[in-house]
Amino acid sequence: MSGECSLSGPEADCIQLAHGGGGRAMARLLESLILPIFDDPELDRRHDGAVFEVAGPLAFTTDAYVVRPLEFPGGDIGSLAVNGTVNDLAMCGAEPRYLSVGLILEEGLPLAVLRRVLVSMRDAARAAGVRLVTGDTKVVDRGKADGLFINTSGVGRVLAPAAIGPARVVSGDVVILSGDIGRHGMAVMAVREHFDFESTIESDCAALAVPVAALFAAGVTVHCLRDLTRGGLASALVEIAEAAVVHIEIEESRIPVRADVGAACELLGLDPLHVANEGRFIAVVPERDAELALRVLRARHITAGAVAVGVVRPAPAGQVFCRGELGVSRVIDMLSGEQLPRIC
Amino acid sequence: MCLAVPGRVLDIAGADLLTRVGRVDFGGVVKEISLAYTPDAEVGDAVLVHVGFAITVLCEAEAARLLAELESLGEWGGGEGDP
Amino acid sequence: MRFREVYRDGAAARRCAAAIARSLTRPWTLMEVCGGQTHAIVRYGVDRLLPEGIELIHGPGCPVCVTPVGYVDQAIGLAERPEVILCSFGDMLRVPGSRGDLLAAKSRGADVRMLYSPLDALALARAEPERQVVLFAVGFETTAPATAMAAYRAKREGIANFSLLVAHVRVPPAMRALLEAPDNRIQGFLAAGHVCTVMGYEEYFPIAERYGVPIVITGFEPLDILQGVQRCVAQLERGAAEVDNQYARAVARQGNLAAREVMAEVFTVAERRWRGIGAIADSGLKLTPAYADWDAEYRFGIVTEAPEAVGICRSGEVLSGACKPTDCAAFGTRCNPERPLGVTMVSSEGACAAYYRYRGTAAGTDR
């Protein structure tokens, strides 16, 4: 993190080590910046933890966010951190309620950037109907944190009538994809050094709790949910096929990829199936509920592009095949390691 | 090897042949590409791009010919259906 | 983009495959030279559409795979110098040298950067005058013009903190070497379309004539490859051995003259070792004496040969088409993309990686 930092005067314009020291500087940071933006009565109590009641079985999740660059078309590390945890809870069949926020700030992080990220988190939380009720702040030396790392944990109330997970996936089930893939990964790539390109691709970063809850409310039997993040659609399908010991077969022509996202992938030699998403999920439902599930999802903005992409079969178990344009199938697997743009 | 992608030239900047660049549209995403090796490329041309360089202007007439050839394969073979 | 989707049409592909089947009176063995073509064949299942009797041998068309170990070691050594920023293409970062790959060196603190274009390295040199930017230049003749332009402009603009470690290779000498091999089974070639976009195809006439093999300059989309096979088989069936240009929309007989001119100014031909295959005369490119000041080997040290790992890995045979990935006992068992034993599994263009990724491991993928 190179950055000009005005150290003169009482108000520095970027984060210094003192801000994480637990003393006056940190108190000032909380009072003047963090708390007013988050604006939550529980947070304002400035207690060591939040106290609340939630009836019924609970879902609990945690995640860390280290995206680079911090800000990208369609979102930033803040909206990612809120929606990512909200979505993990939704994938457990839960209604997200409360989130914790752990901030690891790098010495030298401009306060203006931090402000934008915090506002983004607040807005994402409001849109998702969750509250940010407890948090922590630490500061590390320059060079140790890419600007900012965020950890969020979340608690939600389980809505699903029966436990959802790979164990319930059976042969004959239909795999539904909630919308077009590859936007997030390519939106971030578009602002990465050397690989930058002009585009209107924006991250699909969004909260998925509402459409998921709608599925349960409509009485759709849901066997499994999985949100697509790093590793893309391919990883999600392979994880389910392996955990459930089933075979999944998808049709390439059914998988929606926006033209410009596809073009960006071609340009960099990437496969859309492996590109990251932040506002998409797959639902595995019994065949008899597939029509209803699609109707419910398509009625909602964020899942308007929902489509059935494949089916579950008994064998060959643990594998995912994709039938391509030429009518021949190929194996879909997770990528090993980081996706390096294929250039030559 | 040699991942080269077709794109369409939107505009061109630079008078010097060596440093001439074009904004090339690859179907919704646009990248600035060196036209040093395609001095005859004009706005509206389709070019083939490899590691940031246009390596040729694509010939649309030849492309049409190939597709017509592929179309004609079905005709004289006729009636065999899909394998 | 009209130049993409139309070349992937399933119905046209099946018609083409049927036409090939009709024309066949005996089995033929062809080689597609370029890794990008292998990738397309395996990904789209072109080989599965072809009739029994057509065998496609995958060629050593992955310049990343064939880069000698010594070059990778040199690149790692350079990257470990604090003043150096080592730049290369994504694929190159995972190719193992004697002691790991460039990505591993990066994790230990070496400044290794991935680029889209060689011009990015030049821009980096201008932006960081205190550092030594080294471009690890890999690729066939398709990529050589881009590297050449970076060198050409560095010299013209007097950018002193920039140098190139050149490991470019040339395709026609490799084709000759394969045809000279005692166990050669190649009867016809699908030549590398984009290499020919740059170089043209004059060099192939003497090869076709000397060895009696048809050579069809072929593109990279499934329909290009199918049409390439169709035209090659048609020649074989009538006993011809000509050079034919299937990829006419992108290839002219003389190639790209502007690119060839700059390449001739910057590069000269040299002998080069191909990993897994051995030394092939005239198969490498190196900087001319006029560019010695930008040659990383002059600036930092000449690349020395390093032994290739011996063992169960059959990369070399896969690269020369002597065996298929699935013929190797380690394929999918001891060797996979997570724990690759050889280069053909490491590089995404390598035949083993393509097979593993799109076909899995043996059973259950036949359809």
pLDDT by residue (tens digit) across C327-344?
A: 998 998 888 877 778 878
Name every chain B residue with its beta carbon within 8 A of the beta carbon of C34: 1-2
Q: How far is A14 from chain C (nearest CA, A)?
A: 25
Verify whether the Cβ–Cβ distance B1 to C142 is below 8 Å.
yes
Mutate to test the interface with B, among C3, C66, C230 (most CBs of B within 10 A): C3
**Residue at A175: amino acid letter:** V
Verify whether the Cβ–Cβ distance B5 to A197 is below 8 Å.
no
Position B75 confidence tier, pLDDT thresholds 50, 70, 90: low
Q: What pLDDT does A229 receive?
A: 87
Name every chain B residue with its beta carbon within 8 A of the beta carbon of A269: 3
Residue C203 in contact with residue C283, Cβ under 8 Å?
Answer: no
Position C99 confidence tier, pLDDT thresholds 50, 70, 90: confident
Verify whether the Cβ–Cβ distance C9 to A336 is below 8 Å.
no
Verify whether the Cβ–Cβ distance A325 to C349 is below 8 Å.
no
CB neighbours of residue B83 within 10 Å:
11
Name every chain A residue with its beta carbon within 8 A of the beta carbon of B13: none
Calpha distance C354→C347 (Å, rounded): 9
Q: What pLDDT does B68 receive?
A: 87
Residue A27 has pLDDT above 70, yes or no: yes
Which of B3, B29, B50 lies nearest to residue A197, judging by beta carbons?
Answer: B29
**Mean pLDDT, to the nearest integer, of C277-304?**
94
Verify whether the Cβ–Cβ distance A326 to C139 is below 8 Å.
no
Residue A133 in contact with residue A50, Cβ under 8 Å?
Answer: yes
Verify whether the Cβ–Cβ distance C194 to B77 is below 8 Å.
no
Name every chain B residue with its beta carbon within 8 A of the beta carbon of A199: 28-30
Name every chain A residue with its beta carbon within 8 A of the beta carbon of B23: 198
Which of C35, C192, C249 lies nearest to residue B63, judging by beta carbons?
Answer: C249
Interface contact C258, partner B, CB < 8 A: yes
Calpha distance A343→A266 (Å, rounded): 10
Name every chain C residue with its beta carbon within 8 A of the beta carbon of A251: none
Q: What pLDDT does C126 receive?
A: 97
Q: How far is A336 from chain B (nearest CA, A)?
A: 20
Name every chain B residue with its beta carbon within 8 A of the beta carbon of A265: none
Q: What pLDDT does B12 receive?
A: 97
Residue C276 has pLDDT above 80, yes or no: no
Residue A344 has pLDDT above 50, yes or no: no
Residue of C nearest to A196 (CA): C116
How does pLDDT run across C197-242, given as a tens digit for each residue? Answer: 999 999 999 999 999 999 999 999 999 999 999 999 999 999 999 9
Residue A2 has pLDDT above 50, yes or no: no
Residue of A nearest to B1 (CA): A344
Name every chain B residue with its beta carbon within 8 A of the beta carbon of C15: 70, 73-74, 77
Global pTM value: 0.88
Verify whether the Cβ–Cβ distance C45 to A326 is below 8 Å.
yes
Interface contact C223, partner B, CB < 8 A: yes
Phi, psi torsion values for A151, nearest 5 degrees: -115, 135
Calpha distance A105→A138 (Å, rounded): 6
Verify whether the Cβ–Cβ distance C1 to B26 is below 8 Å.
yes
Interface contact A194, partner C, CB < 8 A: yes
Verify whether the Cβ–Cβ distance C138 to A333 is below 8 Å.
no
Chains that touch C (3 or more CB pairs under 8 A): A, B
Q: What pLDDT does A340 receive?
A: 58
Residue of A nearest to B32 (CA): A197
- Paired sense of beta strands C215-218 and C188-192, if any: parallel
Verify whether the Cβ–Cβ distance C15 to B77 is below 8 Å.
yes
Which of C90, C338, C364 lies nearest to residue A316, judging by beta carbons?
Answer: C364
Residue C320 has pLDDT above 80, yes or no: no
Residue A81 has pLDDT above 90, yes or no: yes
Residue A132 in contact with residue A43, Cβ under 8 Å?
Answer: yes
Collect all residues from A whose CB is shorter than 8 A from any CB in B.
190, 196-201, 258-264, 266-267, 269, 342-344
The ipTM is 0.91
Q: How far is C302 from chain B (nearest CA, A)?
A: 26
Residue A12 has pLDDT above 80, yes or no: no
How does pLDDT run across B11-25, given as a tens digit for each residue? Answer: 999 989 899 999 999
CB neighbours of residue C80 within 10 Å:
15
Residue C364 has pLDDT above 60, yes or no: no
Verify whether the Cβ–Cβ distance B66 to C197 is below 8 Å.
no
Name every chain A residue with its beta carbon within 8 A of the beta carbon of C120: 194
Of A124-133, A159-168, A208-217, C338-347, the range with the lowest mean pLDDT is: C338-347
Verify whether the Cβ–Cβ distance A198 to B50 is below 8 Å.
no
- Listed by number, the residues of chain C in 298-357 with a beta carbon closer than 8 Å to a beta carbon of chain B are 349
Cis-peptide, bond into residue A316, ω within 30° of zero = yes
Verify whether the Cβ–Cβ distance A343 to C116 is below 8 Å.
yes
Position C2 confidence tier, pLDDT thresholds 50, 70, 90: low
Collect all residues from B whose CB is shorter than 8 A from any CB in A.
1-3, 5, 23, 26-31, 49-51
Average pLDDT, chain C: 91
Residue A129 has pLDDT above 50, yes or no: yes
Residue C135 in contact with residue C88, Cβ under 8 Å?
Answer: yes
Euclidean distance between the first and the last CA atom of chain A, given in angstroms as a whole number = 31
Residue C86 has pLDDT above 70, yes or no: yes
Q: How far is B52 from chain C (nearest CA, A)?
A: 5
Q: How far is A252 from chain B (nearest CA, A)?
A: 20
Interface contact C281, partner B, CB < 8 A: no
| Residues A111-122: b if buried by 16+ CB within 10 A, e if exposed | bebbebbbebbb
Name every chain C residue with its beta carbon within 8 A of the beta carbon of A253: none
**Mean pLDDT, to the nearest integer, of C166-176?**
96
Chains that touch A (3 or more CB pairs under 8 A): B, C
Q: The tokens of C171 are what? A: 């395709």
Contacts of C219 (CB under 8 A, 6+ apart): C7, C193, C225, C228, C246, C247, C249, C250
Verify whether the Cβ–Cβ distance B28 to A344 is below 8 Å.
no
